Amino acid sequence: MPDRNSQIHRILSFEIKQLRENDHYSPQAQIDALIQQDPTTRAEVIAIKSGLVVSGEDELELLALRSEALFGSGAEMGEVKVNFKETIRKAAEAEGKYIRQTGGLGNYGHCKLRVEPNRPGMGNEFINDINGGVVPREYIKPIDQGVKDALELGIIADYPIIDVKVTLYDGSYHETDSNEMAFKFAGSIAFKEAARKAYPVLLEPVVAVEVIVPEEHLGTIIGDINSRRGRIEGIGSLAGSKVVQAIVPLAEVLTSSEHGRPTYSMRFAGYEEAPPPGPFDQDAAACANKPRSPKMGTGSAAADLEE
């Protein structure tokens, strides 16, 4: 039986919108109750501005149907969708500058970032490698926050970026016009520029599938798995039937077949590179806000505003 305390992989989700207003009716509490009723259900509910997002693993379609029956016309139910991710395949560097001056005090933020792939499963990592005070300490955290915001927005198809190491290694500031907001924007700009040059790819969740099928239909099942971009990991025998073990993209997961009514189980197996959603031109993906070279100075004012 699945352990509720173990990590829930948010590989599937659906939204509930247009929630009805009722002090005695809590949609989130109702769905939480449904989850608790079934010990095999691994899902969670998150509140957003437009309603709720229900995320989880292979029981989500069932949960969506039960929730739809619960809410009826009181809410708009979204379709169950697969949650993709993004990552990068090589190292790259870029600088980001946010410079605005419209009279009086302006805004100046400038940083240089290096991005590189992190080990799969290690998550995202931000490293401060600033020496000599070229970027004051109070602006490091805003740069980090700008990077985090950009990571959530993605580069290819608006999916979160995972397993990336980001190093802040240089930058500059203005004695009077630098502020946290400017450095936050600079961090976001620099990361987007670097990530576009770092060969970004789309990742999709894959599941380990075990299919039990009569031997005479083995070839059909193997063909079905291959047609769904799956790969066979092994074939065994069990009580006169064949047991096929395979890795299949969740978006292509096996459905019921008329050939001998196979039974199957599946579990989350990780993320793998997926076919791109469309052409992605690395050269044409340069950031629209092209960074400008700072006028470097010395002492506390490490840069002057450009006209």
pLDDT confidence tier of residue 291, bands split at 50, 70 and 90: very low
196: tokens are 């576009």
CA dihedral 218, 223, 226, 232 (to 10 degrees): 20
For residue 271, give Cα distances in angstroms to 121, 206, 247, 249, 288. Answer: 9, 6, 11, 9, 30
Instruction: Write the pLDDT tens digit of every residue in 67-107.
Output: 765 665 466 777 888 999 999 999 999 999 999 987 777 89
What is the spatial distance between Cα 147 and Cα 134, in angstroms, rounded to a whole number? 19
Least confident interval from 44-48, 199-203, 276-280:
276-280
pLDDT of residue 7: 79
What is the distance of C-alpha 284 from the center of its chain? 23
Least confident interval from 48-52, 191-195, 256-260, 288-292:
288-292
pLDDT of residue 65: 64
Contact 128, 168 (CB under 8 A): yes
Q: Write down the pTM of the prediction.
A: 0.78
- Does the pLDDT of residue 132 top 80, yes or no? yes
Instruction: Write the pLDDT tens digit of every residue in 170-211.
Output: 999 998 999 999 999 999 999 999 999 999 999 999 999 999
Average pLDDT, rounded, for the chain? 81
All domains of the chain in start order, with CATH: 12-83 (3.30.70), 86-199+282-304 (3.30.230.10), 203-273 (3.30.70.240)
Q: Which pairing describes strands 43-48 and 51-56: parallel, antiparallel, or unpaired?
A: antiparallel
Burial class of residue 29, CB neighbours in 10 A (0-12, 13-18, 19+): exposed
For residue 47, give Cα distances in angstroms to 69, 72, 83. Answer: 20, 19, 17
pLDDT of residue 49: 79
What is the spatial distance between Cα 99 and Cα 118, in angstroms, rounded to a whole number? 31
